[in-house]
Amino acid sequence: MSIQKQFEQIGGHFINPAREISVKLKDIHAFIFDWDGVFNNGQKSNPDGSPFSEADSMGINMLRFSYWLKHNKLPFVAIVTGENNLTARNFAKREHLNAVLLKAKDKGEAIKKLADINGFSLDQTAFIFDDILDLSAAEICNLSFCVKRNASPLFKEFILNNGLCDYISANQGGENAVREVTELLIGLNGNFDETVKKRMEYKNDYENYISLRNSIEPEF
């Protein structure tokens, strides 16, 4: 069964065909994630911010390993959030992401700034998002993936009518939508089985990758 059919079976919505996303993905070197509504359902009950799932964390790690196996270097991975989110900061430290941009009210400008500082272009950028304040970034990135929200049918229609993303997830924020999108990206990289098997071995390639990954200290 094709990757597109597998993800359509769980409810994923391909705005652009998987084969077109796969072609674009070959030139992607930066993966930027929104936080609220992507890693969680957007609810907040304390000043530390909103939570994340270990399943999503594994997805991002495997996406980075998949990229490393394919390109022999690490991708740039960052979180861009509109709030001063302590949980996002701690997640980035634990996972050794490249950067976290906090209190980003204009996410399009925020991603342009990250690209300029870190030497990648918008054509080399994929963005994972969920809501209206993210659209200025979704519009300018080469690949964009929207996390579904059942409560926002008009927002979904707007995205579809304006061509503002390539894929809408089957799962909502807080339901491992990040894992879904990262598995899709690894699958479209063409090395899902290799990535999982080498992680299972936990030696040689994975040891080299994790040592390099863990040398990264995120910028805030």
Which pLDDT belongs to residue 47? 64
Phi, psi for 99 (deg, rounded to 5): -160, 155
Mean pLDDT of all residues in 38-61: 86
Helix (H) or strand (E) holding 79: strand 76-80
Looking at the domain assignment, is residue 67 inside a domain? Answer: yes
Burial class (CB in 10 A: 0-12, 13-18, 19+), 72: exposed
Domain with 107, as residue range(s), is 3-213
Percent of all residues in the chain with a pLDDT value above 90, rounded to a whole number: 89
Looking at the domain assignment, is residue 13 inside a domain? Answer: yes
Would the pLDDT of 122 be above 80? yes
Which pLDDT belongs to residue 46? 67
- Looking from the CA of 43 toward its CB, the CA atoms found within 13 Å total 4
Percent of all residues in the chain with a pLDDT value above 70, rounded to a whole number: 98
- CATH number, residue 113: 3.40.50.1000
pTM over 0.85: yes
Looking at the domain assignment, is residue 219 inside a domain? Answer: no
Please tell me the total number of residues recorded for the chain in this structure: 220
Q: Given pLDDT bands bounded at 50, 70 and 90, which one contains residue 16?
A: very high
Looking at the domain assignment, is residue 141 inside a domain? Answer: yes
Would the pLDDT of 49 be above 70? no
Which pLDDT belongs to residue 145? 98
Task: Report the alpha-carbon distance of residue 24 to residue 141 in Å, rounded.
Answer: 11
Average pLDDT in the chain: 95
Count of CB atoms situated within 10 Å of the CB of 218: 18
Which pLDDT belongs to residue 84? 83
The distance from CA 50 to its chain's CA centroid, rounded to whole angstroms, is 17
Looking at the domain assignment, is residue 220 inside a domain? Answer: no
Name the H helices within 46-203.
54-71, 86-95, 107-118, 135-138, 153-162, 177-189, 192-201
Mean pLDDT of all residues in 184-205: 97
Would the pLDDT of 152 be above 70? yes
Q: How many domains does the chain have?
A: 1
Task: Give the pLDDT confidence of 24-42 residue by residue, as tens digits.
Answer: 999 999 999 999 999 998 7
Which pLDDT belongs to residue 50? 79
Looking at the domain assignment, is residue 43 inside a domain? Answer: yes
Looking at the domain assignment, is residue 218 inside a domain? Answer: no
